[in-house]
Amino acid sequence: MKILLLRDVPKLGRQGDVKEVADGYARNYLIPRGLAQPATGALQRVARGRAQATTARADREIREARETAARLDGFSLTIRARVGEKGRLFGSVTNQDVARGLAEIAGVRVDRRRVALDEAIKTPGVYRIPVRLHPDVQAVVEVRVEGEDGRGEEV
């Protein structure tokens, strides 16, 4: 029996897929649990339309991510912070600070969770920080952390 999956089913397929399964599996398991419904001609056309729209959206997202990565790759961002006597920052520079700096200076809005900063930066220096724009696209941004008086030591 041909069915249209209404939800992701492990080892069978993803939502919107049209699959051929055993009649008993469809009637006794998938359909009663709301995981699938019989695939009529109209439903198959709707599923194809959704699949095409999903593919187009995914292509657009990856294209936009690559364009943004081209703008950000090698971009240098300077963040000034107060430095104590021992050369450590008062506070730290976090992924949110980097995302805010990219939005203000580069004009690129990046969610702070996409800035792959392992731990907060607590000393002045130059850091290369990856920004994950898409699961397949990543840009590396150079972040220079300096003291407010312009002092910054190389790390």
Q: What is the pTM of this model?
A: 0.66
Quick one: average pLDDT of 65-93?
88
Together in a domain, 135 and 80? yes
Of the residues 61, 84, 104, the one at which a domain ends:
61
Q: Is residue 109 assigned to a domain?
A: yes
| Domain residue limits at 29 | 2-61
Q: How many domains does the chain have?
A: 2
Describe the chain by its helix, strand, coil percentages, rounded to 5: 35, 30, 35
**pLDDT at site 149:** 65
Residues 6+ apart with CB under 8 A from 53: none
What phi and psi, each to the nearest 5 degrees, are found at residue 36? Answer: -155, 170
Give the distance, in angstroms, between the CA of residue 36 and the centroid of all CA atoms in the same chain.
Answer: 29
Together in a domain, 77 and 39? no
Residue 151 and residue 92: Cα distance in Å, rounded? 16
Quick one: average pLDDT of 15-21?
89
Together in a domain, 120 and 80? yes
The token pair that represents 79 in the structure block:
């963040």
**pLDDT at site 30:** 94
Helix (H) / strand (E) element for 13: namely: none
Residue 127 and residue 124: Cα distance in Å, rounded? 9
Q: Which residues partner with 38 through β-bridges?
A: 3
- From the list 50, 131, 57, 146, the residue with the least C-alpha distance to 93 is 146
pLDDT of 24 over the 90 cut: yes
Q: Radius of gyration (Cα) for the chain, nearest Å?
A: 25
Residue 115 and residue 132: Cα distance in Å, rounded? 6
The token pair that represents 122 in the structure block:
């607590």
* pLDDT tens, residue by residue, 133-145: 999 999 999 999 9
Number of H helices, E strands in the chain: 3, 6
pLDDT of 155 over the 50 cut: no
